[in-house]
Amino acid sequence: MPQYETTRTVPHSPRQMFDLVADVERYPEFLPLCEALSVRSSKERDGKTLLVADMTVGYKAIRETFTSQVLLKADDLAIDVKYLDGPFRYLDNRWTFEPKGESGCEVRFFIDYEFKSRVLGVLMGTMFDRAFRMFAEAFEQRAVKIYGSVPVS
């Protein structure tokens, strides 16, 4: 049952970081291992957006696609991801964005998952662990590219 959690302080507003992470269709442009992502459906209600998306991840000759339900809670500056189908037994992923200083924020990322197949877990597990550790940096670099670099107050 691998899991990874990190909190990073970035020089961007919580809204900017929420918007960046919520833009899931852009993930293949910058996120490690993400080869494709397509949104199957999108529904809005009570200030929340519910997406169902397919993400294809790959490493060398291994490719796996899984389906997730992504709940974008803009008013709460939070994103919850619920696993629906694919190679995992389960996957739980949460993002939160809290103000820090005058213009920065703390980005909290949590993921807990387990592959259905022990073989796939062995083949992909170590690489997934490394990728999740690189996710925070990938999002930070994406934020600098989109919003520029400003010092945290």
The predicted-structure confidence for 62-90, as pLDDT tens digits, reads as follows: 888 999 999 999 999 999 999 999 999 99
Phi and psi of 130, rounded to 5°? -65, -40
CA angle 1, 48, 129 (to 5 degrees): 20
CATH topology of domain 3-147: Alpha-D-Glucose-1,6-Bisphosphate; Chain A, domain 4 (3.30.530)
The DSSP H or E segment spanning 110 is strand 104-115
Its pTM stands at: 0.89
Please name the helix (run of DSSP H) or strand (run of DSSP E) that holds residue 130, with its range, or none: helix 118-147
Distance of alpha carbon 104 from alpha carbon 117, whole angstroms: 41
How many C-beta atoms lie closer than 10 Å to residue 6's C-beta? 14
Phi/psi of residue 118, each to 5°? -65, -35
Distance CA 11, CA 100 (A): 9
pLDDT digits 0-9 by tens, 26-59: 999 999 889 999 999 999 999 999 999 999 988 7
Pick from 113, 139, 152, 144: nearest CA to 4? 113
**Per-residue pLDDT tens over the stretch 88-145:** 999 999 999 999 988 899 999 999 988 888 887 777 667 777 777 788 889 999 999 9
